[in-house]
Amino acid sequence: MLWLLTAILFPSGAVRAGSPPPTVQVAAALSLSGDSYTFGKGSLEGVQLAVEEANASGILPRIELKIYDDRSTPEGAQEVAHQIINSSAALVLGPAISTVSLAAGPLYAEAGLASITTTATSDLITHNATTFRVVFRNSEQGEMLATYLNRVLGLNRANVIVKDDGYGHTIEKGFRESAGRLGIEAKYYVFKSDEEAAAIVSAIAGDPNPAAVVFATLDGEGARMLPPLRRLGIEGPFLGGDAFGDESFSSRMADLPEEKREPGYFSEGVYGISPVILDSANADILSFAERFHARYQHDPVWFSVAGYDAARLAIEAARAGVREAEQPNATSQRAAALAYIVHLNSPFRALPGLLGPIWFGPGRGRQQAIRVGRFNHGHIESAPVQIVPVLTPDAQEVKEGAVFEMRPGTFVRLQHVAYTGVYINDIPRVEPGRSSFGADFYVWIRFARPTGPGSPDPADIIFPNMISGSFDRSRPAEQGEMADGTLYRLWRVQGEFRNDFDLHRFPFDKQTLSLRFFNSRAAADRIVYVLDKRAPHTEHGTFGTSYEKPAADLMAAETLAIASPDAFRNLSQWRPLDAHQRRDNVVTDSSLGDPRRVGTEGFRELSGYAVLIDLQRQVLPTLTKNLLPLFLMTLIMYASLHFPKVMMTNKVTVTVTGVLSGAVLLGSINSQLGGVGYTVAVEYAFYVFFALGLLCIISVITAERLILAGHPLAARRCEIATRVIFLGSVITFLVVSYRYIRS
């Protein structure tokens, strides 16, 4: 009977007590050394996090990740490909760069092994029948560079530097096509060797008509050509593809003398392309960034985000391969995994991903947004104007020019990035009873000048939790234009703000005060508020040296010097711990009656900004103020247990008076906390106090009855037992309270 039950529950007969869980192997073939190691290292961190989360979920089979280094060379990629083909891997994550993928792709295709590239972007890599690209293709980058140059920067001349390989020529192709449509006059310089690259630098420097410089190269070549161009007086602007869209590009020049004197000297103002830039990322990516930072203790680069998306796809495909395989062998699992990826051929069959839904068109490529970054002192930040896709264009917006075609059939709009910051002057009061606090602070934004019809007004902001106060967006305290062409607005805001307080641990509680604002009219595809990294930085919020130093923050919640040292001088019951500011997304998971969203976006996302201030209640002053009378009444009640028999009535009087006084004190505390509907920590002290009062009254009544019944010895024992229980209860409560505070 037991054998029959086991056969029914586990038909395969493979699961036995103590047997290891089933696994499926996924290979990661990445550039972990060589010229493009940054792509591979960043991708691997995202891949590892995805695998760890998948295995922690408990879903079977578990994923076994086997890592290979292709050394950033075609020869290394082919060696690794042969090793993987001869292994039991169900599919391959990688390669990370286009030239390596072009070398290894034919081998994987011949073996029927799916290859999911992480950061490779060449149009040519998907010519191999089993290669899938999870980020945009190079020709789309070229189109974006040309469109940005013309539509945003307002320029129509460019010198385009092209590396003579599969990466450079595909970017060149997209740029040429868009330049022809937009009327951009472009000169194209193609090179293979370093000598040819040096000649191109000299030719551009000798051109009497300066023009923008566009790099259709990888970051290594770009980092070797940019410094001599700068030294020869070429001012740019300089633009590059995804190889220029990360801080690893700037770090390649860190050893140059100019960079040592002034970090970011050569990369300053350079534009680069990226699938994601954290300062303007959506809510899902910001959540990923928090988990990533907790795992690796640094912020993710876009390579890591792409690697995570690729790994999530690989995990689902590998598990599907195990489920659907006709035979339990590598060949059958590879075929089933490949079939699973192929069937993701429309938005309605897509897997959720950080960079958008994961599905593949006829060319096994993925459609997604492209972000443009700009370097500031060696760090990448979102450029002040972005070009974002519009899935369902409105005819009126197209007519007005707010929405335009990037290529035939592909519509986009301009999105404004508002660099934002807050400085806190004063937090005069915190009132949990009113669910509010007072605040006096400055808020500023820097943004690009409106660029056409339908441009949102970044100053059209509202504070949804403001109860009362002064804020008039039409009357800033200061305004002007910055050297980089951005407009500047500064307001001083004073008022009372609604806040949610968690008082379960009162008076040992910590609270977070939040100051939030949103744009009242424009959704996140039109404007996004990001942290102004050009403001003076400190490691944490400026409170003065006497305050506790908190743990490091994420990039999404990066802390600036945002508070005056005297900002919390009036909060006698509170100790400030930290203050940080960050983007604040509000996502409404509904089409809100707009049929254009059904089946596409399916939600509305508003971009806003938040300042979070962490406070801890000063425990000793609060306890002294609220519980010292209770403690004294407890001592008086205990003393009454030692009254002689002739004072029986006085014992009851003392106890009743103490209980009534405790009830009055509890009512006073509750009035301070407001109408909370749960038990706070301090109330347990009163409950114990009331229980001790009841114990005293019961003891007096019991002892009196025993004496009247002629049992004086029993009455004496009752009194002694009451004293022991009373003291034991108080000591136990103090011990438990101490452990609670420490927890």
The domain that contains 640 carries what CATH number? 1.20.58.390
Q: Are residues 542 and 424 in the same domain?
A: yes
**Paired tokens of 237:** 């602007």
Cα diameter, the chain: 121
Q: Which domain holds residue 672?
A: 620-742
Share the mean pLDDT of the chain: 86
Query: How many CB atoms are located within 10 Å of the residue 662 CB?
Result: 22
pLDDT digits (tens, 9 = 90+) for 355-413: 888 999 888 988 788 999 999 888 899 999 999 888 778 888 888 888 898 888 888 99
CA atoms of 204 and 213, how far apart (whole Å): 9
**CB-based contacts of 210, cutoff 8 Å, min separation 6:** 234, 235
| Coil vs helix vs strand at 677 | coil
| Residue at 372 is within a domain | no
pLDDT at 694 over 50: yes
| Residue at 550 is within a domain | yes
Peptide bond before residue 228 is cis, with ω within 30 degrees of 0? no
pLDDT at 332 over 60: yes
User: Into how many domains does the chain fold?
Assistant: 4
CA atoms of 686 and 434, how far apart (whole Å): 23
Q: What is the 3-state secondary structure (H, E, C) of 530-572?
A: EECCCCCECCCCCCCCCCCCCCCCCHHHCCECCECCCCCCCCC
pLDDT digits (tens, 9 = 90+) for 105-135: 999 999 999 999 999 988 889 999 999 999 9
Contact (Cβ atoms closer than 8 angstroms) between residue 558 and residue 293: no
Q: Are residues 541 and 605 in the same domain?
A: yes
Q: Are residues 548 and 598 in the same domain?
A: yes
CA atoms of 385 and 394, how far apart (whole Å): 21
Four-point Cα dihedral 534, 540, 544, 548, nearest 10: 180
pLDDT at 288 over 60: yes
**Paired tokens of 578:** 């930290």
Q: Are residues 552 and 674 in the same domain?
A: no
Give the H/E segment covering residue 372.
strand 371-376
201 backbone dihedrals φ, ψ, rounded to 5°? -60, -45
Q: What is the 3-state secondary structure (H, E, C) of 264-320?
A: CCCCCCCEEEECCCHHHCCHHHHHHHHHHHHHHCCCCCHHHHHHHHHHHHHHHHHHH
| pLDDT confidence tier of residue 21, bands split at 50, 70 and 90 | confident
CATH number for the domain that contains residue 209: 3.40.50.2300
In DSSP terms, 417 is beta-bridged to 528
**CB-based contacts of 319, cutoff 8 Å, min separation 6:** 24, 59, 61, 63
Q: Are residues 721 and 613 in the same domain?
A: no
Q: Give the pLDDT confidence score for residue 183 in this predicted structure.
A: 94
pLDDT digits (tens, 9 = 90+) for 619-671: 888 888 878 888 898 898 888 888 887 777 888 888 889 889 889 888 888 88
Residue ending a domain, choose from 560, 594, 617: 617
Q: Give the pLDDT confidence score for residue 573 in this predicted structure.
A: 87
Q: Are residues 211 and 227 in the same domain?
A: yes
Q: Give the pLDDT confidence score for residue 586 in this predicted structure.
A: 63
pLDDT at 561 over 60: yes
CA atoms of 537 and 567, how far apart (whole Å): 18
CA atoms of 453 and 404, how far apart (whole Å): 11
Residue ending a domain, choose from 573, 601, 617: 617
| Residue at 267 is within a domain | yes
CA atoms of 108 and 83, how far apart (whole Å): 11
Q: Are residues 589 and 601 in the same domain?
A: yes
pLDDT at 348 over 70: yes
**CB-based contacts of 141, cutoff 8 Å, min separation 6:** 121, 171, 174, 241, 242, 273, 370
Rounded mean pLDDT, 20-41:
91
Q: Of 503, 410, 499, nearest to 463 (Cα)?
A: 499
Rounded mean pLDDT, 167-181:
93
pLDDT at 519 over 80: yes
Provide the percentage of residues in the chain whose pLDDT is more than 90. Answer: 51
Matching residue, tokens 């991708």: 43
Exposed e or buried b for every residue in 54-89, given b needs 16+ CB within 10 A? bbeeeeebbbbbebbbbbbbbebbebbbeebbeeeb
Rounded mean pLDDT, 210-222:
93
pLDDT at 602 over 50: no
Q: Are residues 131 and 151 in the same domain?
A: no
pLDDT at 12 over 80: no
Contact (Cβ atoms closer than 8 angstroms) between residue 247 and residue 224: no
pLDDT at 207 over 70: yes
Alpha carbon distance, N-terminus to C-terminus of the chain: 50
pLDDT at 553 over 70: no
| Residue at 657 is within a domain | yes
Helix ranges (DSSP H) in 611-680: 619-640, 648-673
Q: Give the pLDDT confidence score for residue 589 in this predicted structure.
A: 53
Q: Are residues 269 and 293 in the same domain?
A: no
Q: Are residues 178 and 201 in the same domain?
A: yes
CA atoms of 631 and 312, how far apart (whole Å): 58
Query: How many CB atoms are located within 10 Å of the residue 685 CB?
Result: 20
Q: Give the pLDDT confidence score for residue 342 in this predicted structure.
A: 95
pLDDT digits (tens, 9 = 90+) for 472-514: 888 999 999 988 788 999 999 999 999 999 888 888 889 999 9
Residue ending a domain, choose from 349, 371, 390: 349
Provide the percentage of residues in the chain whose pLDDT is more than 70. Answer: 91
Q: Give the pLDDT confidence score for residue 592 in this predicted structure.
A: 47
Contact (Cβ atoms closer than 8 angstroms) between residue 704 and residue 646: no
pLDDT at 559 over 50: no
Q: Give the pLDDT confidence score for residue 620 in this predicted structure.
A: 83
Contact (Cβ atoms closer than 8 angstroms) between residue 501 and residue 511: yes
Q: Are residues 450 and 568 in the same domain?
A: yes
| pLDDT confidence tier of residue 535, bands split at 50, 70 and 90 | low
| Residue at 2 is within a domain | no
Burial bucket for residue 317 (CB in 10 Å: 0-12, 13-18, 19+):
buried
| Residue at 584 is within a domain | yes
Q: Give the pLDDT confidence score for residue 675 in this predicted structure.
A: 72
Contact (Cβ atoms closer than 8 angstroms) between residue 336 and residue 324: yes
| Residue at 478 is within a domain | yes
Q: Give the pLDDT confidence score for residue 604 in this predicted structure.
A: 56
| Residue at 357 is within a domain | no
| pLDDT confidence tier of residue 18, bands split at 50, 70 and 90 | low
CATH number for the domain that contains residue 590: 2.70.170.10
Q: Give the pLDDT confidence score for residue 539 in this predicted structure.
A: 36
Q: What is the 3-state secondary structure (H, E, C) of 206-229?
A: CCCCCCEEEEECCHHHHHHHHHHH
Instruction: Report which of residues 616 and 561 the model is more confident about.
Output: 616
CA atoms of 512 and 578, how far apart (whole Å): 9
Q: Give the pLDDT confidence score for residue 600 in this predicted structure.
A: 43
Q: Are residues 294 and 336 in the same domain?
A: yes
